[in-house]
Amino acid sequence: MRAMSRKNSPADEVPGRRERLLSEASRIFALKGFDKASTREIAQAAGANIGLIAYYFGDKLGLYREVMMRPVADVIARMPEADASVPLRPWLESFYGAFLQPLQLDEEALAGLLRLCGREMIEPSAVYQEICAEYIAPRHLELVQMLAQRCGAAEPDIELHQLAFGLVALAHDYWMSADHMEALVPGMVRGPGAYERVLGRLVGYGEALIEHERALRQAAKSDLAPVKSQTSRKARKT
């Protein structure tokens, strides 16, 4: 179903109504999942006419796509350009700062986001797969290409993809395991100084991962050097 033209704006459209629909949809989808959530329930919770869902989002699936896209778009908007000319530590501070931003949400909003993402981790929907292909995959490739430059690789390879996933996984676990971490160690991810402490540690861990990859590649080049030298001498003798 296509959204209604903005020229045919419903009489009950008011400022902030779209955001309230998204907020309530995010909460209800997180609690019930896509199939069990109803557009009528979402509209009632937002204090809106159910027709506004069609007006703003087209249909229930369009609303769900917008809900799923919001946290992804928020991270992407804060993400630094994949520029190897920027010193590594400041770049990682911006990189992990973007990923950790949701941890600064209030507890209820963060819990809802974690439930929503958790559902998609267990049962990925076609919507999330589309978002991955359209928005996440291009950023991943840009990250891998930058890592190739930082690690002295001629072109991206599977090990650099593994490094990119590892860098992201460090922050991703704080999204998915925040409640678990907080239950085991209160103050770990919430409370005074928690965000700054986590960010500082992840930056250091990220540096270590990249440096380790550089060292592995440098060692591989050093091991190959004597072999190339011997081959060259043999070629000259013949």
What is the C-alpha to C-alpha distance for residues 179 and 226, in angstroms, rounded to an integer?
52
Q: What is the per-residue pLDDT for 231?
A: 55
Tokens 């013949």 — which residue? 238
Give CATH for domain 79-224.
1.10.357.10
Class of domain 6-61: mainly alpha
Domain boundaries, the chain: 6-61, 79-224
Q: What is the pLDDT of residue 14?
A: 65
Burial class (CB in 10 A: 0-12, 13-18, 19+), 45: middle
pTM value > 0.75: yes
In this prediction, residue 120 carries a pLDDT of: 81
Q: Which one, of 36, 1, 39, 2, lies nearest residue 22 by Cα? A: 39
Q: Is 135 helix (H, G, I), strand (E, B) or coil?
A: helix
Scanning 101-157, the segments in alpha helix (DSSP H) are: 107-122, 126-131, 137-150
Q: How far apart are CA 24 and CA 26, in angstroms?
A: 5
Kindly give the confidence (pLDDT) of every residue in the chain, 238 residues in length, as a single tens digit, with 9 standing for 90 and above: 344 445 455 545 566 899 999 999 999 998 888 989 999 999 999 999 999 999 999 999 999 999 999 888 888 999 999 999 999 999 999 999 998 887 777 777 777 777 888 788 777 788 988 999 999 999 999 999 999 999 999 999 999 999 999 999 999 888 778 888 889 999 888 888 888 999 999 999 999 999 999 999 999 888 765 555 555 555 555 5
- 213: CB partners within 8 A, 6+ apart: 147, 151, 159, 160, 163
Residue with tokens 């599977």, as numbered in its chain: 158
